[in-house]
Structure 1
Amino acid sequence: MTRPVITQPQLVPVTSIDDHLPAVQPEALTAEAIRARLAALSNWSPEFVGDGGLFTNREPAGAAVLVPLVRRDEGLTLLLTRRTDHLRDHAGQISFPGGRVEPEDDGPVATALRETEEEIGLPRDFIRVIGQLPVYSTVTAFQVTPVVALVEPGFTLTLDSFEVAEAFEVPLAFLMNPAHHRHHRFEFGGTERRFLSMPWPGPEREYFIWGATAAMLRNLYRLLSEA
């Protein structure tokens, strides 16, 4: 099946907004609460597993991303990147730092840490891994392991200008409030795609968080809201 390409996701009609669902409570958004909930992950199933087997002829490939939760005085924030516009996969999209598993990587944690260091220059000394979310399968045939980590403040980023146009932080509480979760439906040539978005009105511009990144964040919401 041919994958319908979505080049302007922000223009795809919104079919519903999940403002009827409760936001994750502040006590569940602390570092300690998130660590404890990840430790109890074995009996939990994610809401979104991905659609990687539907729209591509590529062989599946392993990948890992870091879900970096930065400790700030006002609460945890999520460090995200905006990819450059010329990349083959997910150009211009908002994403977690991460990438393809390489043969020398000793598992998804090693991949996530290596890719994060290469893409945005976040030193490993500031990162403490606290768990993983279930694998998410993307439309580009990547089997992505989200590695959740706490990041201590005081770091300085050095972006790889070829891959990363920008790095920014979003309050985790904003993303864990489903009043900001929008469902979209796109149809082209008889083929349908549905996706989730979480547009964040940043201090200087809006960041349209959608697709796989939004789906993995929705899985984190489900995990924390059931705590």
Structure 2
Amino acid sequence: MGIIPIEVRGIEESAVCVPVLYIEQEPYLILIRRSRKLRRHPGQISFPGGLIEKDEGPLEAAVREMKEEIGIKDGCFQVLGQLSGTVTINSRVRITPFLVLLRCKEFHLSREEVEEIYFVALESFKSTKCVEIVMPNGNVTCRYPLKDLVVWGATARIISQSLSQIEQMLKEVRA
């Protein structure tokens, strides 16, 4: 008997860049606070990214969104590979993340989409446990309670699931 594929209805496809920038020889993840004016996930901490448009693949969408949201220019980044994805709990969006090493330190935020940009040492995520939380609807996710920032939901799950992968990819490119 063959495997019958199950169609998952209502799931949209999106992609994000997980940008890393070295500051004083230490890797930092770049996170953004989404504009509170946005329809989806307003004010939340996330990686640059968005929905995949017709006729583009996940990597194309992730890079396009990174360029639009934080103003990274061609020649200023290197895509290192795909990371572990996740699905947002409430909005049912599948997220495909890509680790991106930034070579330039120049950012131009799209104020329509991004309120703030954060540089968080990778070590902060390695030394802090992603604490499990139960949502009011019973769904379970996790959060990183950092000193000045709480990273939770899909963004926290991507980081938690991909930490060892991120470290390995960064080692390979720095070798």
Match of 1:197 in 2: 143
Say which of 94, 101, 113 aligns to 1:163. Answer: 113
Say which of 117, 120, 144 aligns to 2:95. Answer: 144
Over 3 Å counting, the alpha-carbon distance change for 1:224 and 1:65 in structure 2 is closer
CA RMSD of aligned residues (A): 2.1
Greater RCO (CA < 8 Å, at least 6 residues apart): 1
Match of 1:111 in 2: 61
Q: Give the TM-score normalised by the residue count of structure 1.
A: 0.65
SS in 1 for 2:138: strand
Say which of 130, 133, 136 aligns to 2:83. Answer: 133
CA offsets per residue over residues 122-178 of structure 1, 9 Å max, x none?
Answer: 1131110011013311121211110111111x432111111100111000111122x
Q: Does structure 1 residue 72 correspond to structure 2 residue 29?
A: no
Sequence identity (%): 31
Over 3 Å counting, the alpha-carbon distance change for 1:63 and 1:186 in structure 2 is closer
1:124 and 1:226 map into 2 onto residues whose CA distance is: 24
How many residues were matched structurally?
Answer: 161
Name the structure with the higher strand share. 2
Q: Which runs of 5+ in 2 are unaligned?
A: 1-7, 170-175
2:168 and 2:81 map into 1 onto residues whose CA distance is: 17
Q: Give the TM-score normalised by the residue count of structure 2.
A: 0.83
Q: Which runs of 5+ in 1 are unaligned?
A: 1-52
Q: Is the 8 A contact 2:131 2:144 kept in 1?
A: yes
Match of 2:4 in 1: none
1:180 and 1:92 map into 2 onto residues whose CA distance is: 23
Over 3 Å counting, the alpha-carbon distance change for 1:150 and 1:224 in structure 2 is closer
2:69 and 2:33 map into 1 onto residues whose CA distance is: 11
